[in-house]
Structure 1
Amino acid sequence: MCGIVGLHLKSPKYQDLLGCLLGPMLGCMETRGSDSAGLAIYEEPVPEGYFRYSVRLDGVDSTEEVKSVVAALVDELSDDLATTVTCERVRPDGAVLVAPESMTDVTSCLAARRPDATVVAFGRHIEVVKDVGTPQEICHRHEINNRTGFQGIGHTRMATESAVTTDHSHPFAPYPDLALVHNGSFSNHATVRRWLAKEGIGCVTDNDSEVAARLVGRALSAGASLEAALQDMGNEMDGFYTLLVATGSEFAVMRDSFACKPLVVAETDDYVAVTSEYIAMTSLPGIGAATVYEPMPGEIHVWGR
């Protein structure tokens, strides 16, 4: 059992309050799982030709050490890539770096300089925060209440099939500006993982949700719409699931054909909110006047900017 939450803002009205609204929603879902938690937050894009890279640095203990390591890393990567790399944000676990959109070059240079560094997410809009611990601990540690943006998704996990580690926690973000969170389980993920590997698409973990994320990313990379990518994923994977997926321009939910995993949607003129349980929405402004419903079995709903 896991909990998922999401907030897609239709207008700028609440963009400065995104973190203040999203954090409590995720904290409310702690009873659905407290092994680990994470969020993907979407902001206005960095300049064309560049990506935001959410970089985790393992083995760095203090805030001052993180700052020192990040400052050195920015200079080193700028030299290695022969361009300007900047730090948008220093985080307790690393940093958000702005660097050229050539993911392969950036990760190669990063691995050479810091073998303990992991790129958790990348894209013009996205930042991903995830860690082992409760949602409230993680939101407090990363000061989520201070975050702004136009949409975000979150997940709190009760591990059932794979290890409790930061890598295994959600969201999974294996392609530019894509993030996926999942409540449920896929029964054939090992089979799909093997044929993805034959195509040269490797997984970092043995988590079933990562396989779904990579399938969606594979379809998006081939030019599919988000809705078509989710349909493709549903055709390939078996199980009981509710998915919440975001890109730099869209926000979508999907339920399997049995719809045994809960999902509630609330929509107003200002936002679309998604949670596993209605109680997580009750702190949102204007929720009393929202149109509230549960997507039907097999349905996919997509909202765009």
Structure 2
Amino acid sequence: PALKSRDAQNRILHAWKAGPQTVALRKQLEAMRDGGVYVLHIPMAPYRCPPGPYERVCQVADYFKRAKPRSKILVLDSNPDITSKKGLFLQSWNGVYKGMIDYRPNSEITDVDVKGMTVKLQFENVKGDVLNVVPPQRAGDIALKAGLITANQRWCGIDWLTSESTAVKGIHVLGDATLAAPAMPKSASMANQHGKICAGAVVALLKDRPVFSTPVIMNACYSFVDGRTAMHVTSVHKYDPAQKTMVPVKGAGGVSDKASEEEGTFGWGWAKNIWADTLS
């Protein structure tokens, strides 16, 4: 409840959307004393970019290792375990960042004390010098106001052949706002693929033609553990007419063995390509 106030939101950031808040979080970390504690709270899945919080931990650890070596990171995860690339992140946390990161699963937040810079959990209170609370997430207000949210008061059900809302005909929903198909992450790569299915379907519907009935889409996600080293996970999803949803293709996709500078190069290449493809 305390995070509903404007003052609290300015002091305890989510920084889950690139822009002023991520810049402000950087300034908070730069201003933090060496030996201070950065606290990151992760909401219960699903949320946008499953590996994102753990990648942030790595990036902050990389900065602390270079600039504030006495500082620590406390990760309060609402989930029972690391939700994405667990083994790969633990390689870094127990390797180059050994001793810097305290990971605590099943740590769901109940409130914050802004003046005391304290996160209140169900069974304990945790103090920090910089608090970064990523809140539970849902489809945007526009989806709520349009009556598109159908599941758990959070997500929008869609027809996976057209991306058309199951609640309101003629409106198409993409990306993070959707009620995800089995094992489908809320990622930029998936949103890009959703857009292509939707565009093709809209053209077909406008021309009174049948939509493509067997779409296959893929997800790729790179996570950087420092400024140059990264690892990836990929998956492939196809439409199952019996279940009327997208399902993962067994044996397709994969995950890195370890983070490397070579994968960091691949990661930047992937990013530039998807930016060009999505924004052109």
**Structure with the larger RCO, 1 or 2 (CA within 8 Å, 6+ apart):** 1
What TM-score, normalized by structure 1, do the two folds share?
A: 0.25
Greater share of strand: 1
What TM-score, normalized by structure 2, do the two folds share?
A: 0.26
State which structure, 1 or 2, has the greater radius of gyration over its C-alpha atoms.
2
